[in-house]
Amino acid sequence: MQVDVLTSGIWQTNSTVLSHRGTCLVVDPAYFPRELAALAERAAELGGATAVCFTHGHWDHVMGHTTCPAAPVWMHQGLVDDIQAQGARAAKYLADAREFDSRWYVPRPAGHRWPQTLRGLADGEALELGGAPLRALHLPGHSPDGLALVAEDAGVLLCGDYLSPCEIPFVEDAPRYRATLLRLLELLAQTGCDVIPGHGPRLDAAGATALARADLGYVDRLIDAAARGDHAAARDAPWPRAHEVVGMREAHLENCKHVLAVQDDPSQAP
């Protein structure tokens, strides 16, 4: 299996093309028109996109699906359900895309819409690409619809917005985020796969493991502070890669808001 990664100019967002025996899967098509044109060209060179996959529904990972208009789109079943129900979360994802594109004058000729042909994936579901096996994993915590793809034949794990060296964890649900990190640590130990994160450079298993452990410590600090009702401790908790990922204070405070809101008012849980 061949692995091609095209990186966007926004937040080092990765679009990954997996190809094997004339079949092609495009994961997280992003983001600007010229980048999407290059992505479509690369997919065509490899046989054309037979499917697209979203690792989650956040706008920076999904808007390029119109580059492959004939391809069915794989995603976690929870996101399929929300799209089909015209739910609030799916609507917000599109609204966020519209707002960004409007603010920065990004043309989107095909509009801001969800794909028509959806395939929901379950945790542990076995897939194939040109006869090569893939496995889907549900990874909630960053968002409830988080999805990873394991391509052991290619030696890669595509995990969406986890394990990025470019940012701290963006935490919506801390206990689930913690469980996802533990699962990723176990998977890395079992497979030795490289990680292609949603943002930033490819990591070998050792580098991804070290990053996951650092992120786990950070999430544990937030959970512990929230359990004690100590808002100051949560706000003052050091975040991982602080010297490398400057400018993350706002993201950290947003994490605190999510964790502390659930502790203070359980009805605010996602």
Q: Which of 89, 26, 105 is nearest to 61 (CA)?
A: 26
Q: Residue 262 above 90 pLDDT?
A: no
> 176 and 152: one domain?
no
> 173 and 186: one domain?
yes
> 138 and 172: one domain?
no
Which pLDDT tens digit goes with each residue over 170-211? 999 999 999 999 999 999 999 999 999 999 999 999 999 999
Per-residue 3-state assignment (H helix, E strand, C coil) for 3-71: EEEEECCCCCEEEEEEEECCEEEEECCCCCHHHHHHHHHHHHHCCCCCEEECCCCCHHHCHHHHHCCCC
What is the number of domains present in the chain? 2
Q: Please, which pLDDT band fits residue 270 given cuts at 50, 70 and 90?
A: very low
Q: Residue 269 above 70 pLDDT?
A: no
Domain extent at residue 117: 1-161
Mean residue pLDDT of the chain comes to 95
Q: Please, which pLDDT band fits residue 268 given cuts at 50, 70 and 90?
A: very low
> 108 and 209: one domain?
no
> 122 and 50: one domain?
yes
> 177 and 99: one domain?
no
d(CA 227, CA 264): 9
**How many residues can be counted in the chain?**
270
Parallel/antiparallel/unpaired status of strands 156-158 and 194-196: parallel
Q: Residue 220 above 90 pLDDT?
A: yes
> 17 and 67: one domain?
yes
> 146 and 156: one domain?
yes
Mean pLDDT, residues 54-59:
98
> 107 and 143: one domain?
yes
What separation in angstroms does the CA of 206 have from each of 118, 163, 175, 202?
Answer: 35, 12, 24, 12
Which pLDDT tens digit goes with each residue over 100-116? 999 999 999 999 999 99
Which pLDDT tens digit goes with each residue over 62-86? 999 999 999 999 999 999 999 999 9
**pLDDT value for 97:** 98
CATH code, domain with 103: 3.60.15.10
Its pTM stands at 0.93
Which pLDDT tens digit goes with each residue over 5-42? 999 999 999 999 999 999 999 999 999 999 999 999 99
Mean pLDDT, residues 220-238:
94
pLDDT > 70 in the chain, percent: 97
**pLDDT value for 243:** 86
> 154 and 188: one domain?
no
> 134 and 17: one domain?
yes
> 135 and 2: one domain?
yes
Residue 72, helix vs strand vs coil: coil
Which of these three, 112, 139, 161, is where a domain ends? 161
**pLDDT value for 145:** 98
| Residue located via tokens 């940012």 | 167
Strand extents, DSSP E, 106-196: 118-121, 126-129, 132-138, 147-151, 156-158, 194-196
